[in-house]
Amino acid sequence: MSKMGLGGHPHMLGFDQLEQLLERSAKSGNDGYPPYNIEQTSDCSWRITLAVAGFSEDDLAITVEDRQLVIRGRQGDTGEDRVFLHRGIAARQFQRSFVLADGVEVGEAVLENGLLHIDLARERPENVVQTISIRKGGA
């Protein structure tokens, strides 16, 4: 017997892409840097907070690509010749991705005290009842 995915289940019509989204999320390559929090701010809104100490607004890029929120960080070279006796502060580039559900929109992004806050919200869908008329078949 072959394994049936969500898209192949007879009662789950149109959910073919759900499995693809789950696979893409699992392969997103996030290595734990930078650390982040996700908090629910209301029934239909969330806030993602990333610890990005040392990054400026110009070092960060936030995009939405194919229902995926992508945050990239790359610090520019200061051009100064600096000699570190100890270097414990990470200054590496990163990419952190989050898969967004249908209807979730990215709102404001704020950089404050080394924390990048990104607000997300989903509009509450209206309950729609649609009546389908039945026509009589025949000649």
What distance in Å separates the CA atoms of residue 45 and residue 104, rounded to the nearest whole number? 9
Q: Which CATH number fits domain 33-122: 3.40.720.10, 2.60.40.790, 3.40.50.720, 3.40.50.150?
A: 2.60.40.790
pLDDT(15) > 70: no
Residue 98 CB-density burial (10 A; 0-12 exposed, 13-18 middle, 19+ buried) = buried
Tell me: the pLDDT tens digits for 43-57? 999 999 999 988 999
Residues 45, 64: Cα–Cα separation, whole Å? 17
**SS3 (DSSP) at 133:** coil
CA 2, 3, 9, 13 torsion: positive or negative?
Answer: negative
CB neighbours of residue 17 within 10 Å: 13
| pLDDT on residue 68 | 92
